Amino acid sequence: MKIALGCDHGGFPLKQVVIDAVQSAGHEVIDVGTFSADAVDFPDFTKKVGEKIQSNEAERGILICGSGIGAAIAANKMKGIYASICHDTYSAAQGVAHDAMNVLCLGGRVIGPELVKVLVSAFLSARYLGNDKDGERFSRRVGKIKKMEDESQ
Domains of the chain (ranges, CATH numbers): 2-128 (3.40.1400.10)
As a three-state string, the secondary structure of 69-134 is: HHHHHHHCCCCCCCEEECCCHHHHHHHHHHHCCCEEEEECCCCCHHHHHHHHHHHHHCCCCCCCCC
Residues 26 and 19: their CA atoms lie apart, in Å, by: 11
Residues 45 and 140: their CA atoms lie apart, in Å, by: 31
Asked whether the bond before 34 is cis by omega within 30 degrees of 0, the reply is: yes
For the chain, 153 residues long, give each residue's pLDDT as a single digit of tens: 999 999 999 999 999 999 999 999 999 999 999 999 999 999 999 999 999 999 999 999 999 999 999 999 999 999 999 999 999 999 999 999 999 999 999 999 999 999 999 999 999 999 999 999 888 999 999 999 999 999 986
Give the DSSP letter of residue 5.
Answer: E
List residues with catalytic annotation. Answer: 65, 98
The answer to whether residues 4 and 60 touch, using CB atoms and an 8 Å cutoff, is: yes
**Beta carbons within 8 Å of 63's beta carbon, 6+ residues apart:** 5, 6, 7, 11, 42, 45, 46, 49, 71, 72, 75, 83, 103, 104, 105, 106
